[in-house]
């Protein structure tokens, strides 16, 4: 697990913010852009090689609608800029969430999803 230094308010030196970081698990070789907010009240796990674009919000406790639950971003997945990943969801291995998406259900591995709400669009092309 990566050891990251935080300010007392939860900011990293890369300008992303983690709240309730006692429930945060971060894998290796991740790329998390500035202004990403990660709310770990009910647990957030980001596995190895995950990439997250500017301004994405990952929440395990949504105070607006009362939804709560652990979020897992599986290995090699990518989250587009300004997307919202809702509580109780899993983004599958190698999958891609397009920019500006609202993810409120589990995304299987190797798929591209986007939209509000995010929907299946296509399979990820094999490398």
- The sign one gets for the Cα dihedral 108, 106, 118, 86 is negative
Q: What are phi and psi of 23, to 5 degrees?
A: -110, 25
Q: Which of 23, 35, 54, 124 binds ligand COA (CB under 6 A)?
A: 54
Binding test (CB under 6 A) with ligand COA, winner from 18, 57, 84, 96: 96
* From 16-24, 42-50, 63-71, 95-103, span contacting ligand COA (CB under 6 A): 95-103
Residue from 10, 81, 104, 124 touching ligand COA (CB under 6 A): that is 81
Residue 106 near residue 87 (C-beta atoms within 8 A): no
Position among 100, 102, 110, 124 found at the interface with ligand COA (CB under 6 A): 100
Q: How far apart are CA 120 and CA 103, in angstroms?
A: 11
The first and second tokens of residue 123, run together, are 């399979």
Part of the chain binding ligand COA (CB under 6 A), chosen from 5-13, 17-25, 86-94, 96-104: 96-104
Number of residues that make up the chain: 127
């Amino acid at each position: 697990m990566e050891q990251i230094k935080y300010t007392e308010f939860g900011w990293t030196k890369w300008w992303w913010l983690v709240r309730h970081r006692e429930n945060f698990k971060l894998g290796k070789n991740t790329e998390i852009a500035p202004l990403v907010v990660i709310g770990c009240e009910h647990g957030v796990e980001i596995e190895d090689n995950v990439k997250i674009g500017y301004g994405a919000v990952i929440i395990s406790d949504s105070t607006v609608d009362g939804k709560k639950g652990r979020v897992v971003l599986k290995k090699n997945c990518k989250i587009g800029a300004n997307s919202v990943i809702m509580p109780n969801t899993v983004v599958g291995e190698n999958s891609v969430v397009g920019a500006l998406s609202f993810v409120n259900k589990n995304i299987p591995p190797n798929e591209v999803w986007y939209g509000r709400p995010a929907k299946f669009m296509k399979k990820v092309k094999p490398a």
